[in-house]
Structure 1
Amino acid sequence: MSQAHPHSTAPDPGAHRGFITLAIMLATIMQTLDSTIANVALPHMAGNLSASQDQISWVLTSYIVAAAIATPLTGWLTGRFGRKRVFLVAVVGFTVASMLCGLSESLVQIVLARLLQGLFGAALVPLSQAVMLDSNPPEKHAQAMAVWGMGVMIGPILGPTLGGWLTDNLTWRWVFFINLPVGMLSFYGIKAYIRETETDRQLGFDFYGFLTLSLAIGLFQMLLDRGEQLDWFSSTEIVLEAVGALVSLTFFVVLTATAQGPSFFNVNLLKDRNFVTGLGFYFLVGLLLYATRALLPPLLQTLMGYPVVTTGLVTGPSGIGTMLAMLLAGRLTSKVDPRALIALGFSLTALSLWQMSGYTLDMSEGGIVWPGVIQGMGVGFVSVPLTTVTFSTLDRRYRSDGTSIFSLFRNIGSSIGISLMQTLLTRNSAIYHARLAELVTSASPAIRAGLPALLDPGSPGGLAALNNEVTRQASFLAYLTDFRIMMVATLLALPFLLLMRKNGNAPPAEIDAQVLE
């Protein structure tokens, strides 16, 4: 039976929408920031915790796997216990887990703490999105999603730069301690201003559905995370993870399709064409955005000799482009066909990737900044109208379930994108190296005449130096190939916008009185 809260003493959400927004945005930024902020601190952690490079990677893997498994659970927890209660527990759990990460004295301790971080943090983004949608009237949804989207994008953009600064000026432990004041402020805002949603204490739990989906997601994440390191399907571990993920997913689909009682995945979500199409596009946003973010820093630092600080300075402006485009898209979505804005965003993204595919090793910093700004604007013009249209026709009863699945698809897209692009980068580097090496031999008069003595292939030292340069050039060509592949994928996605309904801005005008407490 549903349990409402007619005697809530919390302030009217309409009068305190700013405080609500601030509270949930702090939670969103805290979670998304932690998905990337620890990356740059890994070498320092490895030395301090006496862990190898392979072992310290579990600091990232444990978080990703735990968050992926827990994300689909958000919808059921919200329906059973209430959105506010789940939100508060998630913020407290994430903040405490962050403190435990910073206090860790061994690899085992920090991996366990990161597992807790992932489990509690998984609910923060989908819950913040659901609260933003429900605390604003339909005509304000686009602007609300613009603000929410900025929080989602700020984390991954600022993470590496902030993490590097904290590690250099303090210690790697402050990468995690920084979450403590943010978490406390977010907890206060949620507790004071957000109302509780209706709950159903009799809501059943599909344990087998949860178990099979969790196994499928967890094994798939492990496969993606360790595949490149273990040479993919030449490794027994990767084969077992692939088989296990496929079998688990098959069982989940069968159980969901034949369920007579409560099902862990609400199949009603699949009846909404806008929602299903939106999942596909958000998957692609995750794939393109995070893959590019993963490719640029090593390209700039390893091949072009950029210091860490300079790398942050030339990649940071892309976030400015995203914010500006989101603010503009928030105002335009109610006046312009949202599909046109999404098409504009994907077109700008394709343009930026085309520009990146024309990088040279001696290009200026401005040549790196502007494609990043254009790509950032593309992401901004996609995110706001896409989120608005995806949920515009979805019944509000399914919103918590929908936002958790929405976030899950973005995360899976980013995992696949990073793994796929890194695999192609490694393989294409080897291919280009072989092709260039065929042309660079001591028997080639043009090579002998055109190279300085330092790169003379006739001497052992010159041959080694020449091989290093060939490797550098081959790696650079492989990066450019990755950018071209992502550009083509972006353009191929555009026709699928026709699957979305044009008029998707008309959800119920009234806001449920029990949405916020």
Structure 2
Amino acid sequence: MNTLSSDVPKSVGPRAAPLRGAWLALLSFALSLATFIEVLDSTVTNVAVPSIAGSLAVSNAQATWVISSYSVAAAIAVPLTGWLSQRFGDARLFVWSVLLFTLTSLLCGIASNLEMLVLCRAMQGLCSGPMVPLSQAILLRSFPPEKRVFALALWAMTVLLAPIFGPVLGGWIIDQFSWPWIFFINLPIGLFAFAACTALLRRDPPSRKQPPKDLVGIALLVVGVGALQGVLDLGREHGWFDSPLIITLSIVATLALLSLLIWESAEPYPVIDLSLFRDRAFSFGVAVISLGMVSFSVIGVIFPLWMQTVMGYTALQAGMAVAPLGILALVFSLLIGVFLDRLDARFVTSFGFLVFFAVLYWDTHFTLSMSFWQIVTPTFIQGIGLPCFFIPLSAVTLSRISDEKLAAASGMSNFLRTLSAALGTALSVTWWDNRAAHHYGTLAQSVTHESLGTGQFSRALQNMGLAGDRNLAAIRQVVQQQAYMMATNDLFYVASLVCLALAALIWTTRPWRGISAARVGH
């Protein structure tokens, strides 16, 4: 990978919307709001599962289909963004996606049974797919070349902060109102974003060369991605490869995705543009961002799980512990947007991963006796690292992409990023449970009648009125808590090593300077 030059990328310029000043600010705000509610909806329902289950008289396991249906549908729709935008135009596809997303949010809120809610969530996911990648592409084209990184910073703030604040907002809404309001809050925001973008966005015409419909590619994509997302969503619940369902879905996903790669490589008008990966900058950026999001999923999933199941905090308290991560992330997103073009982006990216490494290693020393503020402090500091690696890598990933392929590239990079986060979530939760079982077995061997510590603890419990089976249950609970605490530390340690390796990997490339107005050379 050669040194960045000062050439203006083809992806910005001739088709950029001629907006300046307050109008450009309004468009940016509307695009950011649309992105925010889409990303928010992928996490805000996580804390609403018990409330939805109780209201609709279904089990918690059944209620999780509200989450799964959305994630599967969105995972299918995101990589189709480039193909759809070629047929309908970026602006037209975006505003219709926002409007339909808003209307399906209304349908979700008024759903009277689980079947209707799951169907509406699937429709909502299909409509949401193009919103995030197109908001990124439109922002880049709307800003002048020298402001591209600032545009990416605005986009990154919404993409990174929405998952952080989603559980907090969801918990507050559930406590104060009821679960339908997690969907109703989308209505005023979505309608405003639709109206503003409709008024301000210039309608780019669809591609003059309307390619034939790649029906085989679409079918393989739907089957492959749908089956893969099903494996990730249902694997832990069904015991992974001990389940015939997961084995079947895995075989279907593997065969469909391999067939998709073979078919698309020979298809003259592919629904998935594999030629994007010939660009080394795109391939490198997507790979590193994806690995980074695998590590970040440990914070987004295991951290609140540990707080609730091991430390005894409520869902809202766990969300409040993660939320401070967004404070410094917001500040540094703006700083990076202003100053990145003056720096070697490798340094900024490596620094971000090193911050993650340091904080995750700090987390490996967590104990059961820690206070709430001792838990929050490293999370607050971690907010520095998130935009430091995400924004520069996003800029590098798209820096050589031409105008006509920008939506496709953004869709592909966002698809692989979210898929990696889902993979990281599934693997980390499973590994966490397995490590806890391992530590439980090891610790239980030391809990014997001959053990001095066990005897002292048992007598202390008896003095508190816990005898017989209650005494044994209390001991078992303490051992299990300690086992999960040790498993949490193990997971933080592995994630920290991944971040350290990524910080070093960045330096295997040549300098990334002047990135906001540059092209990455081969």
Q: Which moved more, 1:326-335 or 1:86-95?
A: 326-335
TM-score by length of 2: 0.92
Q: Does 1:482 align with 2:488?
A: no
1:366 is paired with a residue whose SS is: helix
Aligned partner of 1:218 in structure 2 is 226
Q: How does 1:84-99 map to 2 (within 5 A)?
A: 84-99=91-106
Instruction: Give the match for residue 470 of structure 2.
Output: 461
Once the two structures are TM-superposed, the CA of residue 420 in structure 1 deviates from its matched residue by 0.4
Residues 149-180 of structure 1 show CA distances to partners (whole Å, capped at 9, x for unaligned) of: 11112211111111111111111100000000
SS of the equivalent of 1:296 reads helix
- Alpha-carbon separation, structure 2, partners of 1:142 and 1:506: 8
Would you say the 8 A contact 2:342–2:514 is kept in 1?
Answer: no
Matches within 5 A, 1:17-416: 17-201=24-208, 202-259=210-267, 261-416=268-423
Q: Is this contact kept in 1: 2:230–2:249, CA < 8 A?
A: yes
Q: Sort the Cα spacing of 1:208 and 1:45 in 2 relative to 1 into closer, same or farther, 3 A.
A: same
Partners of 1:138 and 1:89 in 2: CA distance: 27
Structure 2 distance, partners of 1:310, 1:42, is: 17
Partner-residue secondary structure (3-state), 2:20: coil
Distance 1:455 1:333, change over 3 A: farther
Which amino acid in the other structure matches residue 494 of structure 2? I
Task: State the secondary structure of the residue aligned to 2:485.
Answer: helix
Whether 1:422 and 2:429 are equivalent positions in the alignment is: yes
Query: Per-residue deviation at 1:499?
Result: 5.2
Cα 1:507–1:196 shift into 2, 3 Å: farther
Partner letter of residue 112 of structure 1?
L
In structure 2, the CA distance between the partners of 1:500 and 1:105, relative to structure 1 (3 Å rule), is farther
User: Is the 2:149–2:337 Cα contact (8 Å) retained in structure 1?
Assistant: yes
Structure 2 spans left out of the alignment, 5+ residues: 1-14
**Is residue 393–residue 504 contact of structure 1 (8 Å, CA) maintained in 2?**
no
TM-score, normalisation: structure 1: 0.93
Q: Give 1:412's aligned amino acid.
A: L
Q: What is the letter of the counterpart of residue 352 of structure 2?
A: G
CA distance in 1, matches of 2:276, 2:159: 23
CA distance in 1, matches of 2:316, 2:250: 39
Alignment partner of 1:496 out of 496, 505, 508: 505
Identity rate of aligned residues, in percent?
Answer: 34
Aligned match of 2:19? 13
Gap regions ≥5 residues in structure 1: 1-7, 511-517
Q: Distance in 2 between matches of 1:12 and 1:134?
A: 10
2:11 matched to which residue of 1?
none
Is the CA contact 2:396–2:515 (under 8 Å) kept in the aligned structure 1?
no
Q: Which whole-Å CA distance do the structure 2 matches of 1:135 and 1:322 have between them?
A: 24
Cα RMSD of the aligned pairs, angstroms, is 2.0
Secondary structure of the 1:430 match is helix
Aligned partners of 2:350 and 2:504 also within 8 Å: no
Q: Distance in 1 between matches of 2:100 and 2:494?
A: 40
Which residue pairs with 2:12 in the alignment?
Answer: none
Between the aligned partners of 2:181 and 2:454, the Cα distance in structure 1 is 51
Say yes or no: does 1:434 pair with 2:441.
Answer: yes
Give secondary structure in 2 for the equivalent of 1:327. Answer: helix
Deviation at 1:236, TM superposition (A): 0.3
Q: Which moved more, 1:388-397 or 1:317-326?
A: 388-397
Question: Bigger relative contact order, structure 1 or 2, given CA contacts below 8 A and separation 6+?
Answer: 2
Please give the secondary structure, in 1, of the residue aligned with 2:179. Answer: coil
Amino acid at match of 2:470: G
Quote the offset at 1:132 in angstroms. Answer: 1.1
Shift of 1:455: 6.4
- Specify whether residues 439 and 508 from structure 1 end up closer, same or farther in structure 2 by C-alpha distance, changes over 3 A only: closer
**Structure 1 residues 436 and 500: alpha-carbon distance in aligned structure 2, compared to 1, 3 A threshold:** same
Contact map agreement 1:76 1:205 (CA 8 A) in 2: no
Q: 1:11 to 1:494 in 2, by over 3 A?
A: closer
Q: Distance in 2 between matches of 1:470 and 1:11?
A: 61
Query: Residue 340 of structure 2 contacts residue 515 of structure 2 at CA under 8 Å; is this kept in 1?
Result: no
Task: Report the CA distance between 1:121 and its aligned residue.
Answer: 0.4
Partner of 1:515: none
Match of 1:48, as an amino acid? Answer: S
Tell me whether 58-67 or 455-464 shows the greater mean CA deviation.
Answer: 455-464
- Is this contact kept in 1: 2:345–2:515, CA < 8 A? no
Residue-pair matches, total = 501
1:448 and 2:455 aligned: yes
CA distance in 2, matches of 1:296, 1:467: 23
Give CA deviations for 1:293-347 in whole Å, capped at 9, x if unaligned.
1112221122222234433332211011211121121122101111110000000
Aligned mates of 1:446, 1:23 — CA distance in 2: 61
